[in-house]
Amino acid sequence: MNRGKAFAWTTGSLTAAIACFSGGPRHPEPRCPPIEAVNIARDSVGSVLQGEYVIEFVGTGGAGKGKRATGTLTLWERLDSLHSVAGLDGQPVPWITEPLFGTMTVDLEVVGAFVNGTVSSADPSEPGVVVRDYDYSRLVPPERVIRFDFGSGSNKRGLWILDGPYIDNEITVVGTTGLAGWWEASIGYTTYRSVGYFCARKVG
């Protein structure tokens, strides 16, 4: 199951949930410089991932195949009081936390990916980037997913976006020197797709 799309409706994208059943390109394995992976406790995600990165998005299929987009990514740890994510009923979702927010300079349209708003916003109430940690410990087998959400329009706290562009993704490798993962972009109720992977090297 592609969990990124299945749970996306709780974070603002009904389109992503529907697209879960559409098949689409296979998620590529990141081809990044070696990263020494580490296991991170849920209460340590923010302190480990905060910092500055040089990040590259590589298109491997769909509209962005063969294209690359590079820039900087800066992540800041959220206050503990802002780690919770509200569900449709306004109550905190116990299996989702939002430990980081940030800003990015990558032009994602180069690789065929689009966002609602901008990725460059550094406003903590509607940042260009957030990191969310999903605890699937109740599943069999239990799993955990750490992912980005891109676009200030979609990341505004308390606002629900039910349609529009999205970038499904998962951070599959986390280390003290960087991180890596896959991404898949669409623009709503269409067959449009662009897929690839990302590599981020920590520089500060």
Which alpha helices (DSSP H) does the chain contain, by range?
A: 3-6, 14-19, 45-49, 152-155
Whether a cis peptide bond, with omega within 30° of 0, leads into 141 is yes
Strands 143-150 and 84-86: what pairing?
unpaired
What would the pLDDT profile of 138-168 be if each residue is shown by its tens digit?
877 888 899 999 999 999 886 667 678 889 9
Q: Taking the model in full, what pTM does it have? A: 0.84
- What's the pLDDT at 162? 66
161 residue type, one letter: I
Q: What is the pLDDT of residues 65-98, one digit of tens each?
A: 999 999 999 999 999 888 888 877 778 888 899 9
Q: Please, what sign has the CA dihedral across residues 85, 89, 91, 94?
A: negative
**Out of 2-6, 21-25, 103-107, 112-116, least confident range:** 2-6
> What does the pLDDT read at residue 4?
38
User: Is the pLDDT higher at 25 or at 202?
Assistant: 202
Q: How far lies 111's CA from each of 57, 60, 124, in Å?
A: 7, 9, 26
Quick one: average pLDDT of 102-121? 97
Q: Is 118 exposed, middle or buried (0-12, 13-18, 19+ CB in 10 A)?
A: middle
- 204 has pLDDT over 80: yes
